[in-house]
Structure 1
Amino acid sequence: MRNGKGDSRRKGPKKDESESSSNARFIAGRNPVREQIEADSSRLEKLYLQKGATGSLLTYRKLASDHGIPVQIVPTGKLNSLVPGVNHQGVILVTSAVEYQDVDDMLAGVAATREELIEKKSIVVILDHIQDPYNLGAIIRSCVAAGAGGVIIPDRKAAPVTPATVKTSAGTINQIPIARVGNLLQVVDQMKERGYWIAGAEGTGETSMQEMDWDRPIGLVIGSEEKGMTRMMRKACDYLVKIPMRGPAESLNASVAAGILLFQASLARPE
Structure 2
Amino acid sequence: MADADTSTIIGRNPVREALERADQGIEKVMLAQGASGEAIGAIRSAAKERGVPVQYVPEARLNHESQGAVHQGVVAIASPITYSSVHDLLTEVAPTWADVQDRKPLLLVIDRVTDTRNFGAILRSAVAAGVDGVIVPQSSMAPLNAAAIKASAGTATRIPIARAANLPTVLQQLKERGYWVCGAEGTSETTVWDVDFDRAMAVVLGSEGEGLASDVAAACDELASIPMRGPAESLNVSVAAGIFLLTAARPRLS
Q: TM-score, normalised by structure 2?
A: 0.70
Name the structure 2 match of 1:149.
132
- Cα offsets for 1:159-205 (capped at 9, x unmatched): 11121101011111111100011111111111011001110001111
Name the structure 2 match of 1:19.
8
The aligned amino acid for 1:20 is I
CA distance in 1, matches of 2:8, 2:251: 45
Alignment of 1:151-190 (within 5 A): 151-190=134-173
CA distance in 1, matches of 2:252, 2:8: 45
The aligned amino acid for 2:124 is R
Residue 116 (structure 1) shift: 1.3
Residue 209 (structure 1) shift: 1.1
Of Structure 1 and Structure 2, the greater helix share is in 2
CA distance in 2, matches of 1:18, 1:181: 24
Q: Is the Cα contact below 8 Å between 2:78 and 2:145 reproduced in 1?
A: no
Q: Is the Cα contact below 8 Å between 1:25 and 1:97 reproduced in 2?
A: no
- Cα offsets for 1:37-92 (capped at 9, x unmatched): xxxxxxxxxxxxxxxxxxxxxxxxxxxxxxxxxxxxxxxxx9xx99xxxxxxxxxx
The reply to whether residue 137 of structure 1 matches residue 138 of structure 2 is no
Alignment of 1:1-271 (within 5 A): 19-20=8-9, 97-269=80-252, 271=254
Q: TM-score, normalised by structure 1?
A: 0.66
Q: Closer, same or farther in 2 for the Cα pair 1:109/1:25, shift >3 Å?
A: same
CA distance in 1, matches of 2:25, 2:181: 34
Q: Closer, same or farther in 2 for the Cα pair 1:130/1:116, shift >3 Å?
A: same
Q: Closer, same or farther in 2 for the Cα pair 1:186/1:25, shift >3 Å?
A: closer
Residue 152 (structure 1) shift: 0.6
Q: Closer, same or farther in 2 for the Cα pair 1:24/1:189, shift >3 Å?
A: closer
Count of residue correspondences: 194
Name the structure 1 match of 2:53.
none
Residue 212 (structure 1) shift: 0.7
Give the unaligned 5+ runs of structure 1: 1-13, 27-77, 83-93
Residue 119 (structure 1) shift: 1.5
Tell me which of the two structures has the higher relative contact order, counting C-alpha pairs closer than 8 angstroms and 6 or more residues apart.
1
CA distance in 2, matches of 1:211, 1:131: 29
Residue 95 (structure 1) shift: 8.7
Give the unaligned 5+ runs of structure 2: 11-17, 19-23, 28-60, 66-76
Q: Is the Cα contact below 8 Å between 1:25 and 1:163 reproduced in 2?
A: no
Q: Is the Cα contact below 8 Å between 2:124 and 2:152 reproduced in 1?
A: yes
CA distance in 2, matches of 1:217, 1:206: 23
CA distance in 1, matches of 2:113, 2:228: 22
Provide the aligned C-alpha RMSD in A: 2.7
